Structure 1
Protein backbone atom coordinates (compact mmCIF):
# COMPACT_ATOMS: atom_id res chain seq x y z
CA UNK A 1 0.00 0.00 0.00
CA UNK A 2 2.85 2.41 0.81
CA UNK A 3 4.47 1.72 -2.58
CA UNK A 4 1.21 2.52 -4.37
CA UNK A 5 0.79 5.74 -2.39
CA UNK A 6 4.41 6.69 -3.10
CA UNK A 7 3.91 6.02 -6.80
CA UNK A 8 0.86 8.31 -6.89
CA UNK A 9 2.70 10.99 -4.93
CA UNK A 10 5.71 10.88 -7.26
CA UNK A 11 3.44 10.88 -10.32
CA UNK A 12 1.41 13.80 -8.93
CA UNK A 13 4.49 15.88 -8.17
CA UNK A 14 5.97 15.10 -11.59
CA UNK A 15 2.70 15.99 -13.32
CA UNK A 16 2.43 19.22 -11.37
CA UNK A 17 6.00 20.14 -12.32
CA UNK A 18 5.33 19.40 -16.01
CA UNK A 19 2.08 21.37 -15.86
CA UNK A 20 3.84 24.38 -14.36
CA UNK A 21 6.60 24.16 -16.97
CA UNK A 22 3.88 23.93 -19.61
CA UNK A 23 2.66 27.39 -18.65
CA UNK A 24 5.75 28.91 -20.26
CA UNK A 25 7.09 26.16 -22.55
CA UNK A 26 5.52 25.74 -25.98
CA UNK A 27 4.04 22.35 -26.85
CA UNK A 28 3.86 21.07 -23.26
CA UNK A 29 0.17 21.12 -22.29
CA UNK A 30 -0.68 22.43 -18.83
CA UNK A 31 -4.26 21.31 -18.25
CA UNK A 32 -3.84 17.52 -18.68
CA UNK A 33 -0.85 17.50 -16.33
CA UNK A 34 -2.71 19.51 -13.68
CA UNK A 35 -5.71 17.17 -13.98
CA UNK A 36 -3.39 14.18 -13.63
CA UNK A 37 -1.73 15.78 -10.60
CA UNK A 38 -5.13 16.26 -8.94
CA UNK A 39 -6.01 12.62 -9.65
CA UNK A 40 -2.72 11.38 -8.20
CA UNK A 41 -2.84 13.66 -5.15
CA UNK A 42 -6.37 12.46 -4.37
CA UNK A 43 -4.87 8.99 -4.00
CA UNK A 44 -1.68 9.91 -2.17
CA UNK A 45 -1.78 13.19 -0.23
CA UNK A 46 -4.89 14.84 1.13
CA UNK A 47 -2.86 17.97 1.94
CA UNK A 48 -1.51 18.38 -1.61
CA UNK A 49 -4.90 17.56 -3.14
CA UNK A 50 -6.60 20.20 -1.00
CA UNK A 51 -3.87 22.72 -1.84
CA UNK A 52 -4.21 22.10 -5.58
CA UNK A 53 -8.01 22.13 -5.51
CA UNK A 54 -7.93 25.51 -3.69
CA UNK A 55 -5.10 27.07 -5.68
CA UNK A 56 -6.21 30.38 -7.25
CA UNK A 57 -4.84 29.46 -10.69
CA UNK A 58 -6.36 26.00 -10.96
CA UNK A 59 -9.28 25.64 -8.54
CA UNK A 60 -12.11 26.79 -10.81
CA UNK A 61 -11.06 24.62 -13.75
CA UNK A 62 -10.42 21.58 -11.53
CA UNK A 63 -13.74 21.91 -9.75
CA UNK A 64 -15.61 22.35 -13.05
CA UNK A 65 -13.89 19.25 -14.40
CA UNK A 66 -14.57 17.27 -11.22
CA UNK A 67 -18.25 18.22 -10.96
CA UNK A 68 -19.29 18.49 -14.61
CA UNK A 69 -16.52 16.94 -16.72
CA UNK A 70 -16.37 20.24 -18.62
CA UNK A 71 -14.38 23.47 -18.92
CA UNK A 72 -15.38 27.09 -19.43
CA UNK A 73 -15.77 28.24 -23.03
CA UNK A 74 -13.17 30.98 -22.53
CA UNK A 75 -10.62 28.51 -21.17
CA UNK A 76 -11.27 26.18 -24.09
CA UNK A 77 -10.74 28.98 -26.61
CA UNK A 78 -7.55 30.00 -24.83
CA UNK A 79 -6.35 26.39 -24.95
CA UNK A 80 -7.04 26.31 -28.72
CA UNK A 81 -5.09 29.53 -29.32
CA UNK A 82 -2.14 28.80 -27.05
CA UNK A 83 -1.80 25.21 -28.27
CA UNK A 84 -2.04 26.23 -31.91
CA UNK A 85 0.50 29.04 -31.50
CA UNK A 86 2.90 26.81 -29.54
CA UNK A 87 2.77 24.02 -32.07
CA UNK A 88 3.04 26.43 -35.01
CA UNK A 89 6.14 28.04 -33.49
CA UNK A 90 7.67 24.64 -32.73
CA UNK A 91 6.98 23.37 -36.24
CA UNK A 92 8.55 26.52 -37.67
CA UNK A 93 11.68 26.26 -35.51
CA UNK A 94 12.37 22.52 -35.82
CA UNK A 95 14.68 21.74 -38.77
CA UNK A 96 13.81 18.04 -39.25
CA UNK A 97 10.85 17.30 -41.50
CA UNK A 98 9.91 14.10 -39.65
CA UNK A 99 9.73 16.03 -36.38
CA UNK A 100 7.59 18.69 -38.06
CA UNK A 101 5.20 15.96 -39.23
CA UNK A 102 5.13 14.39 -35.77
CA UNK A 103 4.43 17.76 -34.13
CA UNK A 104 1.65 18.42 -36.63
CA UNK A 105 0.07 15.03 -35.82
CA UNK A 106 0.26 15.78 -32.08
CA UNK A 107 -1.29 19.20 -32.68
CA UNK A 108 -4.20 17.70 -34.62
CA UNK A 109 -4.73 15.05 -31.93
CA UNK A 110 -4.69 17.66 -29.15
CA UNK A 111 -7.09 19.98 -30.98
CA UNK A 112 -9.48 17.09 -31.66
CA UNK A 113 -9.33 16.13 -27.99
CA UNK A 114 -10.01 19.73 -26.94
CA UNK A 115 -12.95 19.83 -29.34
CA UNK A 116 -14.45 16.76 -27.65
CA UNK A 117 -14.43 18.30 -24.15
CA UNK A 118 -17.84 19.63 -23.11
CA UNK A 119 -18.09 23.37 -22.46
CA UNK A 120 -19.60 25.40 -19.67
CA UNK A 121 -21.22 28.39 -21.32
CA UNK A 122 -20.12 31.58 -19.58
CA UNK A 123 -22.81 34.02 -18.60
Structure 2
Protein backbone atom coordinates (compact mmCIF):
# COMPACT_ATOMS: atom_id res chain seq x y z
CA UNK A 1 0.00 0.00 0.00
CA UNK A 2 1.46 3.42 -0.96
CA UNK A 3 2.56 5.78 1.78
CA UNK A 4 -0.32 8.00 2.87
CA UNK A 5 -2.96 5.62 1.52
CA UNK A 6 -5.64 4.37 3.82
CA UNK A 7 -6.68 0.74 4.15
CA UNK A 8 -10.41 1.41 3.98
CA UNK A 9 -13.21 3.59 5.27
CA UNK A 10 -12.52 5.21 8.62
CA UNK A 11 -13.82 3.46 11.69
CA UNK A 12 -17.20 4.79 12.79
CA UNK A 13 -16.94 7.33 15.57
CA UNK A 14 -19.80 7.68 18.04
CA UNK A 15 -21.87 10.78 17.31
CA UNK A 16 -21.00 13.81 19.43
CA UNK A 17 -23.52 15.04 21.95
CA UNK A 18 -24.51 18.42 23.36
CA UNK A 19 -22.55 21.57 22.50
CA UNK A 20 -19.89 19.63 20.58
CA UNK A 21 -22.55 18.25 18.26
CA UNK A 22 -23.94 21.74 17.62
CA UNK A 23 -20.45 23.12 16.91
CA UNK A 24 -19.64 20.25 14.56
CA UNK A 25 -22.95 20.64 12.71
CA UNK A 26 -22.31 24.38 12.41
CA UNK A 27 -18.82 23.73 11.05
CA UNK A 28 -20.21 21.17 8.60
CA UNK A 29 -22.88 23.51 7.26
CA UNK A 30 -20.43 26.44 7.10
CA UNK A 31 -18.05 24.30 5.05
CA UNK A 32 -20.90 23.28 2.74
CA UNK A 33 -21.69 26.95 2.11
CA UNK A 34 -18.01 27.70 1.48
CA UNK A 35 -17.82 24.70 -0.88
CA UNK A 36 -20.85 26.01 -2.79
CA UNK A 37 -19.15 29.39 -3.12
CA UNK A 38 -15.98 27.62 -4.26
CA UNK A 39 -17.94 25.75 -6.91
CA UNK A 40 -18.83 29.12 -8.47
CA UNK A 41 -15.62 31.10 -7.85
CA UNK A 42 -12.60 29.62 -9.63
CA UNK A 43 -10.04 30.87 -7.10
CA UNK A 44 -11.72 29.35 -4.03
CA UNK A 45 -11.40 25.64 -3.25
CA UNK A 46 -14.40 23.33 -3.11
CA UNK A 47 -13.12 19.86 -2.28
CA UNK A 48 -11.25 20.78 0.89
CA UNK A 49 -14.43 22.29 2.32
CA UNK A 50 -16.40 19.18 1.38
CA UNK A 51 -13.80 17.00 3.11
CA UNK A 52 -13.99 19.09 6.30
CA UNK A 53 -17.81 19.06 6.14
CA UNK A 54 -17.82 15.26 5.79
CA UNK A 55 -15.44 14.98 8.76
CA UNK A 56 -17.60 17.27 10.92
CA UNK A 57 -20.84 15.55 9.91
CA UNK A 58 -19.24 12.16 10.52
CA UNK A 59 -18.78 13.13 14.15
CA UNK A 60 -22.03 15.05 14.63
CA UNK A 61 -24.49 13.17 12.43
CA UNK A 62 -23.20 10.12 10.54
CA UNK A 63 -26.32 10.09 8.36
CA UNK A 64 -25.34 13.49 6.88
CA UNK A 65 -21.86 12.16 6.14
CA UNK A 66 -23.40 9.11 4.46
CA UNK A 67 -25.55 11.41 2.31
CA UNK A 68 -22.47 13.36 1.25
CA UNK A 69 -20.61 10.14 0.35
CA UNK A 70 -23.64 9.04 -1.71
CA UNK A 71 -23.98 12.38 -3.55
CA UNK A 72 -23.99 11.81 -7.32
CA UNK A 73 -21.57 14.70 -8.08
CA UNK A 74 -19.22 14.90 -5.08
CA UNK A 75 -19.60 11.51 -3.39
CA UNK A 76 -17.00 9.66 -5.45
CA UNK A 77 -14.35 12.30 -4.73
CA UNK A 78 -15.04 12.08 -0.99
CA UNK A 79 -15.04 8.28 -1.00
CA UNK A 80 -11.74 8.13 -2.89
CA UNK A 81 -10.13 10.58 -0.46
CA UNK A 82 -11.48 8.97 2.71
CA UNK A 83 -10.96 5.37 1.61
CA UNK A 84 -7.68 5.60 -0.31
CA UNK A 85 -6.24 9.09 0.17
CA UNK A 86 -6.39 9.53 -3.60
CA UNK A 87 -7.10 12.56 -5.76
CA UNK A 88 -8.21 12.25 -9.37
CA UNK A 89 -6.04 13.70 -12.14
CA UNK A 90 -8.74 16.21 -13.12
CA UNK A 91 -9.00 17.46 -9.52
CA UNK A 92 -5.21 17.69 -9.33
CA UNK A 93 -5.11 19.79 -12.51
CA UNK A 94 -7.90 22.04 -11.21
CA UNK A 95 -6.16 22.53 -7.86
CA UNK A 96 -2.79 23.28 -9.45
CA UNK A 97 -4.38 25.63 -11.98
CA UNK A 98 -6.32 27.43 -9.24
CA UNK A 99 -3.18 27.83 -7.16
CA UNK A 100 -1.25 29.17 -10.15
CA UNK A 101 -4.04 31.65 -10.85
CA UNK A 102 -4.12 32.62 -7.18
CA UNK A 103 -0.36 33.18 -7.15
CA UNK A 104 -0.60 35.34 -10.27
CA UNK A 105 -3.34 37.40 -8.63
CA UNK A 106 -1.30 37.86 -5.42
CA UNK A 107 1.71 38.89 -7.50
CA UNK A 108 -0.30 41.34 -9.61
CA UNK A 109 -2.32 42.87 -6.77
CA UNK A 110 0.38 43.25 -4.13
CA UNK A 111 3.34 43.89 -6.45
CA UNK A 112 5.60 42.89 -3.56
CA UNK A 113 8.42 40.41 -4.04
CA UNK A 114 8.20 39.13 -0.45
CA UNK A 115 4.41 38.57 -0.58
CA UNK A 116 4.75 36.85 -3.93
CA UNK A 117 7.58 34.64 -2.67
CA UNK A 118 5.73 33.64 0.51
CA UNK A 119 2.52 32.88 -1.38
CA UNK A 120 4.48 30.98 -4.02
CA UNK A 121 6.36 28.92 -1.43
CA UNK A 122 3.15 28.00 0.40
CA UNK A 123 1.40 27.08 -2.83
CA UNK A 124 4.42 25.09 -4.01
CA UNK A 125 4.35 23.07 -0.76
CA UNK A 126 0.64 22.35 -1.22
CA UNK A 127 1.26 21.46 -4.87
CA UNK A 128 3.91 18.92 -3.85
CA UNK A 129 1.46 17.39 -1.37
CA UNK A 130 -1.26 17.15 -4.03
CA UNK A 131 1.09 15.66 -6.61
CA UNK A 132 2.34 13.00 -4.17
CA UNK A 133 -1.18 11.70 -3.43
CA UNK A 134 -2.17 8.59 -5.34
CA UNK A 135 -4.40 9.13 -8.37
CA UNK A 136 -7.52 7.30 -9.42
CA UNK A 137 -8.52 7.03 -13.04
CA UNK A 138 -12.06 8.44 -12.90
CA UNK A 139 -14.59 9.57 -10.28
CA UNK A 140 -16.27 6.14 -10.38
CA UNK A 141 -13.03 4.16 -10.78
CA UNK A 142 -10.61 2.78 -8.19
Match of 2:90 in 1: 74
Q: Give structure 2 stretches of 5+ with no counterpart.
A: 1-16
TM-score by length of 2: 0.71
Does 1:56 pair with 2:99? Answer: no
TM superposition shift of 1:21: 2.2
Higher mean C-alpha deviation, range 12-21 or range 34-43: 12-21
Bigger CA radius of gyration: 2
Does 1:118 pair with 2:134? Answer: yes
TM superposition shift of 1:104: 1.8
**In the alignment, is the contact (CA less than 8 A) between 2:106 and 2:115 conserved in 1?**
no
Q: Over the residues paired in the alignment, what is the CA RMSD in angstroms?
A: 2.3
C-alpha distance in structure 2 between counterparts of 1:111 and 1:98, whole Å: 19
Report the count of equivalent residues.
122
Per the alignment, in what secondary structure is the counterpart of residue 71 of structure 1? coil
Structure having the higher helix fraction is 1
- The superposition leaves residues 49-93 of structure 1 with CA deviations (integer Å, 9 ceiling, x where unpaired) of 233222233111011112222122222222222222233223222
> Looking at both structures, which has the greater relative contact order when contacts are Cα pairs under 8 Å and sequence separation is at least 6?
2
**In the alignment, is the contact (CA less than 8 A) between 1:29 and 1:83 conserved in 2?**
no
Write out the 4+ residue segments of structure 1 that deviate beyond 4 Å after TM superposition: 95-98
Q: Give structure 1 stretches of 5+ with no counterpart.
A: none
- CA change 1:42–1:25 in 2 (3 A) is same
Match of 2:108 in 1: 92
